[in-house]
Amino acid sequence: MSAPREQFGSRLGFILAAAGSAVGIGNMVGFPVAATKNGGGAFLLIYALFVVLVCLPVMLAEMASGRRSRKDPLGTYKTIAPGETHWMIAGWLSILTPFMIGVFYTVITVWIIGYLFSIIGGNLDVLADPASFGAFINDTDIFIYMAIVAAIVFLILQGGVKQGIEKAAKVLMPALFFMLIALVIFVLTLDNAFAGVEYYLIPDFSKINASVVSAALSQAFFSLSLGMGIMITYGSYLGRENPVPGSAKLVALTDTAVAFIAGLMVLPAVFSFNPNTNTADLSDSSIGMIFTFLPKIFLALQTTIGYTGASLVAAVFFLLVFFAAITSLVSIIEVPNAALMSETGLSRKKSLGVLGVLMGGCAIVAATSFGMFDWTTSFTSYAGATKSVFDIIVDVFYDTILPFNGLLICLFVIYRWKRHNFNEELESGDPDYKGSLFEKYVNFSVGTFIPVILFLVFINTVALKYFGASLIG
């Protein structure tokens, strides 16, 4: 007989772990910059609507199916639809996706810890030169940082669900909130800070067009860790006496609140540095923002709080982002890990060892694709652009397959697992859900327009990414 499935020790532990997954690099800079560039409060409104109307029901579909099957995503598809090849493919996709996104996320986390060490070592002034980022990511030191990140993730995951994932979330998440609030308070006291707040929040509906709407949905979907099998896996570790709908709402709320509050830290800092900042000056990518833009801003603080003070603020920021990244990385690696353990019967430690070699190998290859090796840097080209190994992973898994996996789980839950089973699972542990308006909404949306919306996002991404043509203008 196999051992009973591991479980989170408490509902709070589950919520913190799931929120730890959701709160990641995307929240800290991706969201604030996207909001500022795309209509401020208007973007926020659209984003919030997507979180509630689209993402929350998908999260429920993931958590409920996982809690019912008590398996990883592959096991979930296999248990609910035994021997059905097409659903097996969906199952494999939901293992491959977190594996590959885990690879790209590892690379970014490695850079973050590298910057953190470098700042602690007194090198903020060096990092403030935008050119140093290119040198940093091509330095072989990153492999040392990669070993450190791998060791931390291993240390957490080998402890299991309760003693590893839950325990880490219970320490890292409160620490993260505390640092975030401390930084927001500090930043808001800087000169011109409120110009940034204004830019961030004042709605400009003229900026809203089809591609902004689509970007808001993608951002919300990724930010809530959907389409990666994470919520299926974490749901499988939740006891049936715990409410799923109530917990999912809190996870979505926490994630959105952190993203929103992060904006109150990033934008005021940017505007205090340069009151005349134009939104076009803001970097388009989170990566550009974190590694080339923000260090410059932190360094500028030295005129008021000295070099050590400026380094301290920068270090707290990178530690905060690092904590956010680690809890996300842990959650994403747990997906293939849970599948590997259950498919092969390997112990947790051995399974992590195997994954460490496989994912570590891929992460090393991806990390060399920024100029270290020509072969991985100019790996191929499509839609008129040269693509590195890293670019391909981002394009294929992050941009394209994510909404597709979301679409599959919606169809699976409603049309294969069936509506009444889905409802019954969500009612277990949450009797108020039964017959509620929310239940009716979830039922209707997951079976109808949410899959349609996700399909449109998927098709548009394929057209845009691989054929250079936008269908929605």
**How many Cβ atoms from other residues are within 10 Å of residue 254's Cβ?**
20
CB-nearest residue to ligand PHE: 24
Classify strands 380-382 and 385-387 as parallel, antiparallel or unpaired: antiparallel
CB of 264 to ligand PHE, least distance (A): 17
Taking CA 15 as the corner, what is the angle to CA 9 and CA 18, rounded to the nearest 5 degrees? Answer: 105
Q: Judged by CB under 6 A, does residue 229 bind ligand PHE?
A: no
- Tokens (6 digits) for 380: 């191929």
The residue among 203, 157, 185 whose CA lies nearest residue 264 is: 185
Identify which of residues 233 and 311 has a Cβ nearer to ligand PHE in the complex.
Answer: 233
CB of 45 to ligand PHE, least distance (A): 20
CA 259 vs CA 14, 44, 228, 278: distances in Å: 20, 10, 20, 21
Q: Judged by CB under 6 A, does residue 26 bind ligand PHE?
A: yes
What sign does the dihedral 173-179-182-187 (CA atoms) show?
A: negative
List 21, 109, 368, 400, residue binding ligand PHE (CB under 6 A)? 21
CB of 223 to ligand PHE, least distance (A): 4
Q: Judged by CB under 6 A, does residue 105 bind ligand PHE?
A: yes
3-state secondary structure of 366: helix
Q: Judged by CB under 6 A, does residue 218 bind ligand PHE?
A: no
Residues 311-340, mask of contacts with ligand PHE (x by CB under 6 A)? -----------------x--xx--------
Phi, psi of 75 (to 5 degrees): -65, -35
CB of 297 to ligand PHE, least distance (A): 21
Identify which of residues 25 and 119 has a Cβ nearer to ligand PHE in the complex.
Answer: 25
The residue among 386, 319, 370, 308 whose CA lies nearest residue 133 is: 370
CB of 327 to ligand PHE, least distance (A): 8
List 16, 17, 18, 22, residue binding ligand PHE (CB under 6 A)? 22
Asked whether the beta carbons of 223 and 260 are under 8 A apart, the reply is no
Q: Judged by CB under 6 A, does residue 27 bind ligand PHE?
A: yes
Stretch that binds ligand PHE, among 17-25, 144-152, 190-198, 411-419 (CB under 6 A): 17-25
**H or E element that contains 382:** strand 380-382
Identify which of residues 60 and 193 has a Cβ nearer to ligand PHE in the complex.
Answer: 60
> In angstroms, rounded to a whole number, what is the distance separating the alpha carbons of residues 166 and 159?
9
CA 230 vs CA 44, 99, 405: distances in Å: 25, 11, 12
Q: Judged by CB under 6 A, does residue 24 bind ligand PHE?
A: yes
Identify which of residues 80 and 332 has a Cβ nearer to ligand PHE in the complex.
Answer: 332
Q: Judged by CB under 6 A, does residue 247 bind ligand PHE?
A: no
Q: What single DSSP character describes residue 284?
A: S
CB of 26 to ligand PHE, least distance (A): 3
Burial of 469 (0-12, 13-18, 19+ CB in 10 A): exposed
Residues that contact ligand PHE, how many (by CB under 6 A): 14
Identify which of residues 414 and 457 has a Cβ nearer to ligand PHE in the complex.
Answer: 457
CB of 197 to ligand PHE, least distance (A): 22
CB of 220 to ligand PHE, least distance (A): 10
The residue assigned the tokens 């940082």 is 145
Q: Judged by CB under 6 A, does residue 351 bind ligand PHE?
A: no
Identify which of residues 101 and 157 has a Cβ nearer to ligand PHE in the complex.
Answer: 101
Asked whether the beta carbons of 17 and 234 are under 8 A apart, the reply is yes
Residues 6+ apart with CB under 8 A from 81: 87, 412, 416, 417
List 69, 97, 218, 223, residue binding ligand PHE (CB under 6 A)? 223
Stretch that binds ligand PHE, among 22-30, 88-96, 197-205, 442-450 (CB under 6 A): 22-30
| Interface ranges with ligand PHE (CB under 6 A) | 21-22, 24-27, 101, 105, 222-223, 225, 328, 331-332
